[in-house]
Amino acid sequence: MKRLHSFILKSFLGPLAFTFFICMFVLLMQFLWRYIDELVGKGLEWTIIAEFLFYVSATLVPMALPLAILLASIMTFGNMGENYELTAMKAAGISLQRIMKPLIILIILISLGAFYFSNYIMPVASLKTTTLLIDIKKQNPELILKEGIFTNDLPKFSVKVGEIDKNTGMMYNLLIYDHRENLGNTDVTIADSGTMVTSKDKLTLNLTLYSGNIYQEVKQKPRNRNKNHPSRRIKFQVFKQNISLPGTDLKRSDENRYKNSYRMLNLKQLDQQEDTLKFKLDEDKHIFAKSLSSKYFQKEPRNLLQDSVKSVLVKQKILDADSLFSNLSLLKRQTTISYALDKGRKTRETISRKNNELSAQVKWQRKFTNEWHRKFTLPFACFIFFFIGAPLGAIIRKGGLGMPVIVSILFFIIYYIISMTAERFSKELVIEPVWGMWMSSLVVLPLGIILTYKATTDSSVFNIENYIDFFKKINPLNLFKKKDA
């Protein structure tokens, strides 16, 4: 049995590693395709890009690992079924459960490792990825000039070039807007030709212009945009200027600014943050209810005269609202109704506005609850997908990357759609977080149980001939033929 277990483990570990890296590569390419505009043209060093891709790869493990387990299990048992190795094992009296036993132990260990990864490593990777992505977005891009198009890559300048000689680097028909004073288009330079050369340290841009004019609006305080202001024109044959560049070094921001986000916390921190949010929400509800009640429903007397009137009314026991209202004159009745309607509208607007604020707080709190459940859904998904893939491979008996890939992607898409939809419902407060985060697992779990049972009993689930024979039996034409006979 030790040799058999070693053979099964070797047959599974190879496809698992192969499919895991394939899934990671596909998901990473999808991520790069989404954020390619943020990375290109920023002058980033390869070490920064490698660091960023490493952190991104760590955040993609929850999607890649379950799919890799599903693919590897289908391929492993599909290959053994196609090569009649499963048949030989069953003929020797070894059941499918005993064949799967070493892999079940391995999947349990992988699930425990996935839980540890999701609880301790994923928050750090998410924090690093988020911080680095924000820093990259803030990084000023390299200056890339295109003919006939305004370029705003140069800080505080807007440049348009009519034509560029690629051999000499000379530019023609330049139009430059200087926005360093933040006063709009008050400083414009027009030149017939010119060059732009970056210094070796990439901190200064040496601008040389030939045969042009500088149009400047004279500064006046206060400046009225609706009136004309004096301006001056400076004509030049050669104009040189050094413009400071921000440099290509990436400026790192403080990670503590984002460490309290729900994706950057482990289970213990999520519990603490969720308790804090619940306490704050309950406190806001209590304060609002108290202020609303004292402001609109229990209005206190404003002076001593009202106190005396109230005491007299209490003694005479005529505090009935209907009787008080009926004793008023018509004009006072109309005034009272108008006043009550105005107070009612204001109360409704106040309640509606506060309800939106409280709903936003609840939605933010719900994200922490969903993230808490996500720590457990990843290892459970690995466990479920194995019990779908292993019996499915034993049933279809097809190895390689053909049928297993199609079946795996189909099951994973169904699982992913259910997961994303249910999680969205949970975020929008339609369903509870437990159902939202575990809905996909609860839907797929019975499928794994059924497939395991079918594979254990050697049921031909995917035998098309059985379904064709079944439909032939229920064909109405065959029934009429039997009656005629």
Which pLDDT value is given to residue 483?
A: 47
What are the sequence ranges of the domains in the chain? 150-244, 266-358
Q: How much of the chain exceeds pLDDT 90, in percent? A: 2
Rg of the chain's alpha carbons, rounded to an integer?
A: 36
Q: What is the pLDDT of residues 123-158, one digit of tens each?
A: 888 888 888 888 877 766 556 677 888 877 677 788
pTM, 2 dp: 0.68
Name the helix (H) or strand (E) containing 204. Answer: strand 204-217
Q: Is the pLDDT of residue 29 over 70?
A: yes
In a 13 Å sphere around the CA of 423, the CA atoms on its Cβ side amount to 18
Dihedral of alpha carbons 427, 433, 437, 439, sign = negative
Lowest model confidence (mean pLDDT) among 89-93, 251-255, 391-395? 251-255
Which pLDDT value is given to residue 429?
A: 84
What distance, in Å, lies between the first and last C-alpha atoms of the chain? 59
Q: CA-to-CA distance for 266 and 90, rounded, in angstroms? A: 45
